[in-house]
Amino acid sequence: MVATAAQPAARGAPSRRRRAINLRIPGPTTLPPAVRRALAGQMINHRGPEYAALQQETVEGVKRVFQTKNDVLFFPGSGTGGLEAAIVNCFSPGDPVLAITVGSFGERWCAIARAFGLAVDQLQIEWGKAAEPDLVRRRLRQGPPVKGVLITHNETSTGVTNPVGEIAPLVREHEALLLVDAVSSMGAIPFETDRWGVDVAITGSQKAWMIPPGMAMLSVSDRAWQAAEQAKLPRSYWDFRAMRRYMERGQTPYTPAITQMYGLRAALKLIFEEGLENVFRRHHAIGEQTRRGLRRLGLQLAADPRYFSDTVTAVVSPPGADMSLVRKRLREEYGVVIASGQDHWRDTHFRIGHLGYVRPAEIAQALRALGEVLGSH
Ligand code: PLP
């Protein structure tokens, strides 16, 4: 099953063959047909009973995926908005936090924390490596006391999944809040919000959820609620308290992302029909398939093999290859869309996304195309 997206022919131009697009970027991800149908739904009154039922059903499903009994909040916005929401609701100016960064998205969150005047101690780990629990333990013991720890579960720029389950108890020992960016992992890689004791987990609709960009989803623990009551950072749109107050009565303070929620309802149905554990297994198998295939092409993977991500693989660009040309040929000749590297890895690495609505056939086609383009480059 290769996902297809119609390529609109220019008006008046001879009609072109519809090309199947194999979208192998780490989000936005391909939409399943059932989700696309659901997205065409007519608008409803967001202050009426039909919306309240939609919200209740989707919140319950999202809690199952987060593996939490904590409150779950939906904000219209992208994942980055969710990261900012976590900061402004949990802290006051000058609060000390430890930001553990292993790539571009960790650095983005660190920058947000700094922009809001937090005293950020950054544990900056080399790209491609993970946050080793021993390193975090040492930093928490030796560094200044902190009120919170920010960490990226799955670093999309490097294809590394941090061992958050092992790091969480270390954070607990220091009675700090644990805030986790799970934007590119939730729903694809096991994430046990309650068992690990994650205070705020953040995800974004356009990743493993198989719905369009535009909605951030967050879980908020009791400890995070206490912090939200005391936090002094200014907040308005992102205020957790107002969102909870309204969501408890089946509404949101401002217009919700109704279309995303239609898609979410359909996507959750697919996830639970497949079974959450099976979804995780499929992502792992497809991650392995991708890594195996890339190695067979003689390519070097960028991440520490102990922490390979099952949603995205970062690859070292082969010496002498003009990867922007390779990406262009893949797109134009094979309909395969892959991602460049990010920041200082922009030209030296490329990335293949394998999350959400993806089956082995799409990975096989992408790898075949990559092999052919590199072979004739
Ligand atoms: N964090 C991670 C790990 C991501 O992968 C992304 C997006 O790719 C973000 C944060 C930012 O999300 P958005 O682009 O939806 O703002």
268 and 288 fall within a common domain: no
Alpha helices in the chain (DSSP H): 33-39, 49-66, 79-90, 104-115, 133-142, 164-173, 193-196, 222-230, 240-247, 258-274, 276-296, 323-329, 360-375
In a domain, residue 187? The reply is yes
Q: What is the atom index within ligand 1 of the atom nearest the CA of 312?
A: 5
Q: What is the atom index within ligand 1 of the atom nearest the CA of 26?
A: 8
263 and 301 fall within a common domain: no
| Cα 357 to Cα 2: distance, rounded to the nearest angstrom | 10
**In this predicted structure, what is the pLDDT of residue 5?**
43
Q: Which of 23, 80, 351 to mutate to test the pocket of ligand 1 (most atoms within 8 A of CB)?
A: 80
3-class state of residue 249 by DSSP: coil
Instruction: Write out residues with Cβ below 6 Å of ligand 1.
Output: 27, 78-80, 105, 152, 154, 156, 181, 183-184, 204
Q: What is the atom index within ligand 1 of the atom nearest the CA of 213?
A: 15
**In this predicted structure, what is the pLDDT of residue 377?**
75
**In this predicted structure, what is the pLDDT of residue 17?**
56
Quote the ligand 1 centre to 298 CA distance (angstroms).
Answer: 30
**In this predicted structure, what is the pLDDT of residue 75?**
98
With 0-12 / 13-18 / 19 or more C-beta atoms within 10 angstroms meaning exposed / middle / buried, residue 98 is buried
Quote the ligand 1 centre to 120 CA distance (angstroms).
Answer: 20
In a domain, residue 2? The reply is no
| CA distances, 82 to each of 109, 129, 193, 254, 296 (Å) | 10, 25, 16, 16, 38
| Cα 208 to Cα 22: distance, rounded to the nearest angstrom | 16
Q: Pick from 272, 289, 321: which residue ends a domain?
A: 272
Residue ID of nearest Cα to ligand 1 atom 12: 79
In a domain, residue 284? The reply is yes
CATH of the domain at 266: 3.40.640.10
- Those residues of the chain that have pLDDT short of 70 are 1-18
Residue ID of nearest Cα to ligand 1 atom 13: 79
Helix (H) or strand (E) holding 128: none
**In this predicted structure, what is the pLDDT of residue 193?**
98
188 and 49 fall within a common domain: yes
3-class state of residue 135 by DSSP: helix
237 and 299 fall within a common domain: no
DSSP assignments along 359-373, one per residue: -HHHHHHHHHHHHHH
Quote the ligand 1 centre to 179 CA distance (angstroms).
Answer: 15
Quote the ligand 1 centre to 184 CA distance (angstroms).
Answer: 7
The residue assigned the tokens 């206490």 is 226
Angle, helices 276-296 vs 360-375, to 10°: value is 20
Vertex 164: Cα angle to 137 and 184 (nearest 5) = 140
Total structural domains in the chain?
2
* Structural domain of 213: 33-272
Q: Pick from 272, 305, 325: which residue ends a domain?
A: 272
Residue ID of nearest Cα to ligand 1 atom 2: 183
172 and 109 fall within a common domain: yes
Q: In 184-209, which positions are buried (b, 16+ CB within 10 angstroms) versus exposed (e)?
A: bbbbbbbbebeebbbbbbbbbbbbbb
281 and 141 fall within a common domain: no
| Cα 39 to Cα 191: distance, rounded to the nearest angstrom | 27
310 and 239 fall within a common domain: no
257 and 306 fall within a common domain: no
In a domain, residue 162? The reply is yes
In a domain, residue 356? The reply is yes
In a domain, residue 255? The reply is yes
Structure tokens that stand for 156 in this block? 């999309």
CATH of the domain at 347: 3.90.1150.10
In a domain, residue 14? The reply is no
In a domain, residue 16? The reply is no
Counted residue by residue, the chain has a size of 377
Residues 130-147: tens digit of each pLDDT:
999 999 999 999 989 999
**In this predicted structure, what is the pLDDT of residue 288?**
98
26 and 160 fall within a common domain: no
91 and 235 fall within a common domain: yes
**In this predicted structure, what is the pLDDT of residue 301?**
98
78 and 158 fall within a common domain: yes
Q: Pick from 237, 272, 307: which residue ends a domain?
A: 272
Quote the ligand 1 centre to 283 CA distance (angstroms).
Answer: 19
297 and 358 fall within a common domain: yes
| Cα 154 to Cα 312: distance, rounded to the nearest angstrom | 9
Quote the ligand 1 centre to 124 CA distance (angstroms).
Answer: 19
Q: Which of 29, 84, 151, 156 to mutate to test the pocket of ligand 1 (most atoms within 8 A of CB)?
A: 156
**In this predicted structure, what is the pLDDT of residue 18?**
61
